[in-house]
Structure 1
Amino acid sequence: MPAVGVKVSRVRARQLWMVVGMWERALSSERLRGIGAGPVQGLFERPVLRVFWDLARAGELRALEPGQGRERTLPVATLRIVRDCLGIMAGLVVPEGTTVSLPVVEQPEPKAVVRVEMLGEVYRGLVELAAGGPLERDGKTLSFEDRTRLLAMVCLVLDTGARSGELAALRLDDLPPGRRTVGLRRRQQKASPNRAEEIAELAGVAPSSARAVLWGQGHRLSESLRRRVEAARDQLEPLPDTEWYALRPGTQVALRRWFEVRERLVEPLQGGRNALWVTLVPTKAGPPGITLRPQGLTQAFARGMTALNWVMAGRPGWEPMPIRMEQLRRALTPEPLPVPCTGTSK
């Protein structure tokens, strides 16, 4: 890719370099070997672009292998980023007036959520898992600390509907004295596609049209429709920075047990120790007790739910649980408390 002068944000620049790396790996593959010797605009001819997209979508162009419990195929959000970067690149190297057929990223149907009737079984299974002895299968061990942390995580997800990033961002300060409530910093933005249905209803358009505009793919829609969606978006009240939720007694018990484990882990550390979730074993980032990052949290959840499925397999009425947190959190729609609860609970 030749050097060009185009002004983009730092985030977009990193994304563009990511796609450049994907092109390098694609051009080294059997299916595209030799294509890179030609003019750079040849990369955006339909047959070449189709092969690139097939490889990218299948996860064949990843720089790193996905973590445990994560699918190899690229998620829809990443595919949208790749498509947008391809559009920027094509605009820089393809002669003006040439049509480039960029891939279409379809909005997938949401994966099936856990049935509400199963949530009690999930909780009881996790309590049993947390209280049991060492768990090992296929050479993988789920420690007592791992199980205690998992139970606390799942309880908070069921009480708040937290996303993985929101759960990972929790601090001790988000649990007021008494720990009967939790303050969750929601990460939805005003123009987020997560609010597409709300915006679509306000604008009087189809949700798919609202999503297209919010994702920056509204160029195929009429100018008047785009303006209606943008006007509806601007009319929305911003979401509260923090929502407060009541914690069930079972969640309070799970958190108390996790705090006992957590205290032993962070005691030897110096400096800030405010993260709710911490690591259990040494990692590349440091010793046990340091902040658990969002990726580590999703991996811990996947590992724990896999273990729960092992333990519960064959029990009457048990249905295998998904290893993605989204499918669990969408099973319920917890209502936030009407007023903040930052004082001491009585």
Structure 2
Amino acid sequence: MEQTGKATGPPAARAVSSVVDGLAGGVSPSRARQLRMVAGMWERALGQWPDAVVRPARAAELFGDEALRTFWGLAAGGWLWAREQDVGRAPSGATLRVVRDCLGILAAAVCPGEEVWLPVVAQPEPKAVVPPGQLAVLYRKLADMASDAPVERHGIALSKEDRVRLLALVAVVLDTGARSSELAAMRLDDLGEDEGTVRVHRSPQNASALPQRVVAERAGVGEDVVQRVMSGRGGVSAGAREKVRVALEGLGEGGPAVEDYALRPGTGVAVRRWLRVRAGLVARLEGTQSALWVSLKANQWQGEPGFALRPQGVRKAYTRGAVALNGVMAGRYGWSPLPTTLEQLRRGAGLTPPLP
């Protein structure tokens, strides 16, 4: 349902387009595109509005129950696509969730403080996770392979450094249940003495852009600062962090949940192995690299290895290693296929509760 132009039709649609223009600077580029898409959908919906339903004349009237239900019926039926050849094709669940979330953002901007009807969109069934009984076998096999010769399967090669990082990453996830964003946020000072503990800065799942924008406005800081504080990342001054904390308390929200976890002895060994490899990777970089998880190779954006992995980089590193290891280990006694996404592994983890 791509929409790149501004709404030029009925006054209510033009008003929504203006609201989107006002929101665009406070949300991510992808969210701004989605909001413009929904503004275009409103324009097309008003162009085919049923005679039996009162036609909204103002932006606020778009978010009444009857108007929203009418809009949603047209959207879910596939009648609001921008391209004519797509009209009548039912949108995917993921697209409908985006539309629903954008409706909530627009409603909060147009009708602040008012409760509006929003549709319920079914969540996809979660993928299977590793059975808990197999996690110990998985952990031991990875530990055994961390010092073996390079692994290669179907053109995918895993060096010793790859496997040392993968083992440490998997071990930390098994002990903490950390998400990719939470792994990317980890810093060296999150590790306790002798790598016996690790601190996880929990980031809210499915957090929308709107609360971050509201917090940013109240705190007088940029939305990127709010995102860093709420996800537990560094790079924020103490003053800015305090402003965000005060704004969150004023909204009745807490800051990021911070949990300390005890690491199993084997995890501590795996992490120490990775720290030795990591030290060699970051040695040539100028300045101080505090991220726990860093890249092994140069890429098109970074001319040197040793740069902090972002959440997407963490997920890619894990998936690449899992695919290669599954191919090499297929058929070996006691080996169960490693999940190919970090989220699958994470949902089978959480073997130890956080420290009090």
Relative to the length of structure 1, the TM-score reads 0.63
Distance 1:48 1:237 in 2: 39
Distance 1:298 1:52 in 2: 35
Distance 1:281 1:42 in 2: 53
Listed one character per residue, the Cα deviations across residues 35-84 of structure 1 (whole Å, up to 9, x for unaligned) are xxx96855975443374796974xxxxxxxxxxxxxxxx9x4x7523443
What amino acid does structure 2 have at the position aligned with 1:303?
R
| 1:165 paired to 2:181 | yes
| 1:152 paired to 2:173 | no
Distance 2:88 2:336 in 1: 35
The counterpart of 1:2, out of the listed 6, 26, 48, is: 6
The number of residues matched between the two structures is: 258
Distance 1:147 1:53 in 2: 49
Distance 1:18 1:237 in 2: 28
| 1:280 paired to 2:302 | no
- Alignment check: 8 A CA contact 2:151 2:159 kept: yes
User: 1:48 matched to which residue of 2?
Assistant: 79
Distance 2:326 2:35 in 1: 40
- Alignment check: 8 A CA contact 1:125 1:308 kept: no
User: 2:33 matched to which residue of 1?
Assistant: 18
Over 3 Å counting, the alpha-carbon distance change for 1:285 and 1:21 in structure 2 is farther
Task: Say which SS state the counterpart of residue 8 (structure 1) adopts.
Answer: helix
1:240 is displaced (CA, Å) by: 6.6
Task: Say which SS state the counterpart of residue 301 (structure 1) adopts.
Answer: helix
Map 1:29-68 → 2, pairs under 5 A = 46-49=77-80, 51=86, 57=92
Task: Say which SS state the counterpart of residue 131 (structure 1) adopts.
Answer: coil
Decide which moves more: 276-285 or 106-115: 106-115
Distance 1:270 1:276 in 2: 17
When the two chains are superposed, the root-mean-square deviation of aligned CA atoms in Å is 3.9
Gaps of 5+ in 2: 8-16, 49-70, 108-117, 209-249
What amino acid does structure 1 have at the position aligned with 2:29?
R
Over 3 Å counting, the alpha-carbon distance change for 1:56 and 1:253 in structure 2 is farther
Task: Say which SS state the counterpart of residue 147 (structure 1) adopts.
Answer: helix
| 1:181 paired to 2:197 | yes
The counterpart of 2:341, out of the listed 317, 320, 324, is: 324
1:277 is displaced (CA, Å) by: 0.6
| 1:254 paired to 2:270 | yes
1:173 is displaced (CA, Å) by: 0.6
- Alignment check: 8 A CA contact 2:176 2:261 kept: yes
User: 1:229 matched to which residue of 2?
Assistant: none
Map 1:172-321 → 2, pairs under 5 A = 172-188=188-204, 238=254, 241-286=257-302, 287-321=304-338
Over 3 Å counting, the alpha-carbon distance change for 1:271 and 1:9 in structure 2 is same
Distance 1:316 1:298 in 2: 27
Distance 2:206 2:298 in 1: 39
Distance 1:156 1:2 in 2: 47
What amino acid does structure 1 have at the position aligned with 2:321?
G
What amino acid does structure 1 have at the position aligned with 2:33?
M
1:19 is displaced (CA, Å) by: 3.2
Over 3 Å counting, the alpha-carbon distance change for 1:13 and 1:332 in structure 2 is closer
1:103 is displaced (CA, Å) by: 8.4
Distance 1:53 1:88 in 2: 26
The counterpart of 2:129, out of the listed 113, 136, 142, is: 113
Over 3 Å counting, the alpha-carbon distance change for 1:15 and 1:122 in structure 2 is same
Task: Say which SS state the counterpart of residue 23 (structure 2) adopts.
Answer: coil
Distance 1:183 1:237 in 2: 21
What amino acid does structure 2 have at the position aligned with 1:5?
S
Distance 2:144 2:161 in 1: 14
What amino acid does structure 2 have at the position aligned with 1:316?
Y
Task: Say which SS state the counterpart of residue 181 (structure 2) adopts.
Answer: helix
Distance 2:167 2:143 in 1: 7
Listed one character per residue, the Cα deviations across residues 266-305 of structure 1 (whole Å, up to 9, x for unaligned) are 0011112100011111113311011111101000111111
Relative contact order, CA 8 A, sep 6+: which one is greater?
Answer: 1
Distance 1:264 1:283 in 2: 17
Gaps of 5+ in 1: 24-37, 58-73, 91-101, 193-233, 339-346
What amino acid does structure 2 have at the position aligned with 1:2?
K
Distance 1:151 1:255 in 2: 8
Over 3 Å counting, the alpha-carbon distance change for 1:191 and 1:304 in structure 2 is closer
Over 3 Å counting, the alpha-carbon distance change for 1:264 and 1:21 in structure 2 is farther
